[in-house]
Amino acid sequence: MDGRQELPLIANGYTTEIELRRDLVKFGKWLYRLGFMPGSSGNLSVRVNSECILATPTGCSKYLLKAEDMVLVDLQGQQLSGSRKVTSEIGIHLAAYHSRPDVNAVVHAHPPLATGFACAGRALDEPLCAEAIMMLGPVPLAPYATTGTNELARTLASLIPGHSAILMANHGAMTYGDSLLDAFLKMETVEHFAHICLVAHQLGSACPLEEPAIEQLLEARTKYLNNAR
């Protein structure tokens, strides 16, 4: 993109850096259209290799982003290339990549219902919905910390290894996975599950699944993930 020799990729299914950049654009637009990244909020990143990641820039509508807008940074957060500044939330992305070598992509967004739960001090950890148990597991609530700070990354660090999605108090949600598609689908499922939880509680008769049913779903999840590889 800027005269550099392209680096070898490890991200699933990609052979060139431009493919990664185009997928960041694509998924950014999808998240914007879903209302998960209004204004200039939210950010995405994808692992290029063991040394660096591509991330969205700060202060930009995800609907208007272009492939050349993406920023290359190393795993210490130092910007390697790009005409724009990297997202101010790069710290939470790096926390995921450092904690989970299996993670190749991170999405941070503000889906309205899930963010409503985060603003109400409510985790999405009730075993109400089979799909959410299989796709996500419990979604914990991280304590509040100021956006764009090292403190926010620290509040997430202990939760990242054991979960695939996290709510951030009074802020939003974060998902991560082995590809941008995986992280995107998890974010979509977080919002879908928040909607289901809200309706179930409004009806006044939310019925959590019992432990034997949860164990069966977790066994099915393991088989599903193995078959999907």
Indicate which CATH number applies to the domain containing 57: 3.40.225.10
Domain that holds residue 183: 17-228
Domain tally, the chain: 1
Please indicate, yes or no, if residue 184 is contained in any of the structural domains: yes
Please indicate, yes or no, if residue 11 is contained in any of the structural domains: no
Please indicate, yes or no, if residue 141 is contained in any of the structural domains: yes
Please indicate, yes or no, if residue 106 is contained in any of the structural domains: yes
Please indicate, yes or no, if residue 10 is contained in any of the structural domains: no
Tens of pLDDT along the chain (229 residues) come to 454 555 566 666 677 899 999 999 999 999 999 999 999 999 999 999 989 999 999 999 999 999 999 999 999 999 999 899 999 999 999 999 999 999 999 999 999 999 999 999 999 999 999 999 999 999 999 999 999 999 999 999 999 999 999 999 999 999 999 999 999 999 999 999 999 999 999 999 999 999 999 999 988 887 776 766 6
Q: What pLDDT, on the 0 to 100 scale, is given for residue 223?
A: 77
Residues known to be catalytic: 89
Q: What pLDDT, on the 0 to 100 scale, is given for residue 3?
A: 47
DSSP the chain: --SPPPPPP-STT--SHHHHHHHHHHHHHHHHHTTSS-TT--EEEEE-SSSEEEEPBTT--TTT--GGG-EEEETT--EEE-SSPBPTTHHHHHHHHHH-TT--EEEEE--HHHHHHHHTT--B-----HHHHHHT--B-EEPP--TTSHHHHHHHHTTGGG-SEEEETTTEEEEEESSHHHHHHHHHHHHHHHHHHHHHHHTT---PPPHHHHHHHHHHHHHHHHHH-
Please indicate, yes or no, if residue 5 is contained in any of the structural domains: no
Q: What pLDDT, on the 0 to 100 scale, is given for residue 10?
A: 60
What pTM was estimated for this model as a whole? 0.92
Please indicate, yes or no, if residue 97 is contained in any of the structural domains: yes
Please indicate, yes or no, if residue 7 is contained in any of the structural domains: no
